[in-house]
Structures are given as C-alpha cells and as structure tokens.
Chains A and B, each alone.
Chain A
C-alpha cells in the first residue's frame, strides 16, 4: 500500500512536470506578450526595460529551468498584472480561502442532500416520491449556474433585500482580516453552486442504489428476515458506493477551485476571476501557479479515489 502510494505520488510529480512544461512553452510560443497588449503601447526602449525587469529577455528554456527551481520552493514568481505585482503564492493565499469556504459548504450541501434524496428515490422506486426527486434533479442541471445566480440575486438580493442586512457573520474569521468561517454571505453562492452537483449526486445515487437493491444478495438478506434499514446500510449502500465514488469524487477539485461565473455574478473576491484575467493579461507566473494548483488537486483526488476503493471493497487490490 505504502509502495503503491509512493509510486502514485512520483507519477503525479511527473504529470505536474509535463503539464508545467507544456503550458510554459505553449504560452510563450504564441504571439503577443504581457506588455504588448492593451491600448497604450510602450516604446521599444520601455518594452526592453520592462522585459529585462521581469526576466523576459532571457531564452525560454532558461526561464523554464529558473521557474522549476523556484517552483519547487513554492515560489511561482511575482504576478505581472495584479496591482503592486505581489508574489503569486500570496495572491492565491489571500483569495483562495474565500473560494475554499464556499466550495466546502457546497460539497457538504450537495453531497449530503444528494445522497439522501437519491437513496430515498431508489427505495421508493417508480412512486411519486421518486418522480418528484428525479424531476427536481433534472431541473438542477437545466440551467448554467450564472443564470441561476442572476435570478437568485434578483429575487433575494434586490427584491427581498438580503444584501442590506448588516449582521451577516455567524462565525467570524479565525485571523483578523480573513474570511468568515460561516456567514449569510455564503448562502446564495452555495445554493447556486450546489444545485448542479446535487442533481448529479442524486441521480447517480438513485441509479447505483436501485441496481444494488435488485441484486441477489438483497433478496437473500430479505429472505433471512433482515429489516429494511439493516439491508440498506449493511448491504445496499456499501455496494452502491463504488460506482458513486468513481463519478462523484472527481467533482471535488472543481468545487474547491471555485467557479468563475458564480464569483463574477456575486462579486466574490475569490480565486476564480484569476482564471480569466491571468489569461488575458498574459500573466505568466499567475497562469503557472493556477495550472499547477488545479493539476495537483486532480492528482490527489484520483489517488484518494483509488485508495477509497480498497476501503469500500476489500476485493480490490492495488
């Protein structure tokens, strides 16, 4: 097991290396640069000065090696575009907690409600309860989240006046100036963000639980005289967990790195907006930081998924 995890971590490092190389050389190969864009052009002298200041006058290969050396020390360089050109790591540390709070609550809401709704629907298969839940789950995926966000903002923010409420913190920030641990401010973004994954979780839970309910071992358990609750928890849910883990866990990295659209509509000072601004400003250090952060999350999530398989199903060997 330890050897397996170690091998997987090395593979993850190699993937990160490949990703960083592809992105680095690709973004440097395309025409244009961080200082050639915008309406106010620089004079050739000023441009040369700027490029020298940010080290852009050196050959790409040399810059990549320099980047790798500092990236190992978690230093991705200073942002070109964010005001005051702070280190990328500082920008991420400042904005990510906000995104992370919303993402964590979204995971709790969507997975919690989705699991309960899906199991309930599968248990009462083909009844009106099932139809209602399936209908709600379908509605959850019919609209992109920025549309839902806007309409919720109009209904609750403007019409009901929630935005004017001053006391919104339930649990304040741990460190002064940080983001609140629990606050009413998170309510609308979390609801908006949770709808689509909730629908997905409910649908997959329903289908895997109803597959498991039809299996022979359930009939045996029932013939043995086990109660419905015991069958559900001891047999059905454990067997239904494998397909659910496969589909649902990969949702988590997306939720934790935030949705640009939700942050734009609700004006959340999170990480999401940098996914767009960094590209359009050709903010090379920022792009590299974000790409590696997301890639790292993906790798870790897939590793955890594979480890969970062995815990859920003892037959799986790694």
Chain B
C-alpha cells in the first residue's frame, strides 16, 4: 500500500523550488511526456518493433530477395523452411518465396493498419467536434445518425460493401474506414462535451475568442492525447479486420501479399505439415499488435498530466 501513498502526494515540480536567480530549467508538457515515454521500457520495445516493421514495409523493394509474385516453377510447391539457403523460409503453395511475401506483407498490413484509422478519424473527429461543441439540433442529428450506424452489424455492412465495390487493398481500406468512424466520433464528442464548460473556455470566450479559436487553440490541444491513444489502439483492430476479411477470401486479392491473407490460406488442412505457412505471418501479426499496444499503453501513461514523477 505504500506505493499508493507516494503517488497520492504529488511531488512539487523542481522548477518551483529553484531560487529566482538560478538559471530556469525549462520543462514543457511535451518534454515531460517524451521523458516519461522513454523511461517506459515496454513502450520503447514496442516503438523499436514498429519502426523496424515500418522500415521493412517501406524498403520492401530493396531488401526483399525476390518479388512477391515471382513463381519458381522448377521448385516443389510448399517447400518447408530452413531447407534451401536460396529460400530460407520455404515456398508457399504457389511456389513463391515466403520470405519475400512476408516482407511485402508488412507493407500491405501496415498500410491498411495506418490508413483505416486515419480515414476513420478524419470522418469521425470533425463530426464529434461539431456534435460536442455545438450541441442542440446538430448534436441531436449526428447522435441519431450514430444510433442508426451502431445498430447495423459492422461485419455484415463491410461484407455488403465489399460485395458491391469488389475486393482489393484500396476497397478494403475504404470499407473498413466506413465501418469504424463511430468510435472516434463518440470519443471526440465526449471529450468536447467535458471541456466545453471548463473555466478556461469560459475565460477565453470572455476575452472575445471566436468559436474557431476556442475549438482549435483551447480545446483541441487538451483532447489530443486521448485521441492519439485511441488511434494507436485502432491500428491493430484494422489489421485484425483486414486479416479477417482476407481469411474469408474477400479481402486482399492475389497476388498481393498480406499477413492476414497468408494466415487465412495457411490454416487449411495442410497445416500439420506445412506449419510455416500459418505460423510465420501469425507471429508477425502478433508482434505488430504487441508493438502497437505497448506504444499505446506508454503514450497513455506519458501523456497523462496528472501523473508526475
């Protein structure tokens, strides 16, 4: 219990203790957050994993030994890994180099993972800001829209849209974004509702600040950190969703490589012999998601201004 008592007593910031003559140590909120984040070992591990995967995805053309769609007709399909040095992770069931496909898969999975929340936040955040800040009939209309959108099962809606627009990376991103914009909207609205009545907003209004200035200069900086955390946690969900659609065979089309699709096609009847087809992409998905959740947890703790140490 002693650790809680220590936390309950907020330590006085050292800047306040320094005498006025001493050189002032400048501490910004952001600087503190970065310092707290860097001290969090798990978060740093997560960040390293993510940067490594991002680099692999961006540099796929350079570091991959073969193209993702190059077929080796002379080789036996579904070659097990660790047999031939030319194909260290074996071949898949269409005789394509598995290592190369895993490398290119990073590009697809991370693109989907980042773009889906980006678009979803781009739709949800402005609506949530409008709904939470304006209130009144605007809020009422947007909330009824949310009620209706929530009531439609997202998987069903995604499948329906995909069956209309067809498969492919771009369509998958579009469809997943269309089905996930509600969470950012809800979160932004709740934050704006909470901050709208705060003293500093009333003060800003009394000083003659316009609505625009209040929203962007006063409220938005305060609500950015929970939104950033939510964004970090939305990325793995998008990767899962893409994996799920590809598992059902309606997500990413051949020959594009995506980890989700590779897991999906790897876990058929042949898995007891050709275990590598499912195992390797599974491990990569797990590592990516772990990375994002470590970073998300780290951000959550680092950006919390009530936590002083």
Could you list which residues of chain A lie within 8 angstroms of chain B, going by C-beta atoms?
A: 11, 15-16, 18-19, 22-23, 26-27, 30-31, 125-126, 138, 141-144, 146-147, 150-151, 154, 158, 213-214, 219, 257, 260-261, 264-265, 275-276, 279-280, 287, 290-291, 294-295, 298-299
Contact of B151 among A19, A125, A158 (CB under 8 A): A19
Please, how many angstroms separate the alpha-carbon atoms of A295 and B154 in the complex?
A: 11
* Interface contact B240-A125, CB-CB below 8 Å: no
Say yes or no: A30-B153 contact (C-beta < 8 A), given A144-B243, A150-B267, A279-B159.
no
Q: State in angstroms the CA–CA spacing of A287 and B271 once bound together.
A: 34
> For the complex, what is the distance from the CA of A116 to the CA of B260, rounded to whole Å?
33
Chain B residue with Cβ nearest A131: B42
B56 to chain A, nearest CB (A): 19
Least Cβ–Cβ distance between B93 and chain A, in angstroms: 16
Q: Which residue of B lies closest to A295 (CB)?
A: B151
Nearest CB of B to A50, in Å = 20
The distance in angstroms between the C-alpha atoms of A174 and B23, with both chains bound, is: 80
In angstroms, Cα B3 to Cα A141, docked, is 29
The closest CB in chain B to the CB of A294 belongs to: B153
Report the bound CA distance from A26 to B160 in whole Å. Answer: 10
Known: A144-B240, A144-B285. A158 touches B156 (CB 8 A): no
Contact A147–B272 (Cβ < 8 Å) = no
Known contacts: A22-B148, A144-B244, A150-B278. The answer to whether A219 contacts B8 by CB under 8 A is yes
A265 / chain B contacts, CB cutoff of 8 Å: 267
Chain A residues, CB < 8 A from B28: none
Q: Name which of A144, A261, A294 has the most chain B CB atoms within 10 A of its CB.
A: A144
The CA of A158 and the CA of B152, in the complex, are separated in Å by 38
State the Cβ distance, A99 to closest chain B Cβ, in Å.
13
Interface residues of B in 233-256 (CB under 8 A from A): 236, 240, 243-244, 247-248
From known contacts A27-B160, A144-B240, A219-B8, infer whether A15 and B289 are also in contact, taking CB-CB under 8 Å.
no
Residues of B in contact, count (CB < 8 Å): 38
A15 cross-chain contacts in B, Cβ below 8 A: 144, 147-148, 151
Which residues of chain A are near B282, meaning CB under 8 Å? 143, 147, 151
Residue pair A147, B285 in contact (C-beta under 8 Å): yes
Instruction: Determine how close the nearest CB of chain A comes to the CB of B268; give it in whole angstroms.
Output: 9
A143-B282, A144-B240, A147-B285 are contacts. A280–B163 as well, Cβ < 8 Å? yes
Question: Is A291 touching B153 in the complex (CB atoms < 8 A)?
Answer: yes
Chain B interface, >50% SS class: helix
Q: How long is the Cα–Cα vector from A299 to B43 in the complex, in angstroms? A: 38
**Contact between A275 and B147, CB atoms less than 8 A apart:** no
Cβ contact within 8 Å between A276 and B159:
yes
> Given A141-B289, A275-B159, are A299 and B151 neighbors across the interface (CB < 8 Å)?
yes
- Using CB atoms, name the residue of chain B closest to A149: B267
CB neighbours of A214 from chain B (8 A): 4, 7-8
Taking CB atoms and an 8 Å cut-off, the chain B residues in 263-309 that contact chain A are 263-264, 267, 271-272, 278, 282, 285-286, 289-290, 293-294, 297
Question: Which parts of B141-179 form the interface with A (CB within 8 Å)?
Answer: 144, 147-148, 150-153, 155-156, 159-160, 163-164
**Given A276-B248, A295-B151, A290:B290 Cβ within 8 A:** no
Residues of B contacting A27 in the complex (Cβ-Cβ under 8 angstroms): 160
A18-B290 contact in complex given A125-B4, A154-B272, A291-B156, C-beta closer than 8 Å: no
- 6 A-B pairs with CB atoms under 8 Å apart are A11-B147, A27-B160, A142-B293, A219-B8, A261-B247, A294-B151
Residues from chain B with Cβ under 8 Å of A275 in the complex: 153, 155-156, 159
A11–B248 Cα distance when bound, in Å, is 35
CB neighbours (8 Å) of A261 from chain B are 244, 247
| Among candidates A18, A31, A151, residue contacting B148 with C-beta atoms closer than 8 Å | A18
- Cα–Cα, bound, A146→B260 (Å): 11
Q: Which residue of B lies closest to A277 (CB)?
A: B159
Chain B's closest residue to A215 (CB) is: B8
Contact of A126 among B3, B8, B243 (CB under 8 A): B3
Chain B residues with CB under 8 A of A151? 282
Contacts of B297 in A (CB 8 A): 138
| Nearest Cβ on chain B to A124's Cβ, whole angstroms | 10
Q: Complex: how many Å from CA A16 to CA B148?
A: 8
The 5 nearest A-B residue pairs measured at CB: A295-B151, A150-B267, A279-B159, A294-B153, A142-B286
Give min CB distance, B303 to chain A, whole Å.
Answer: 15
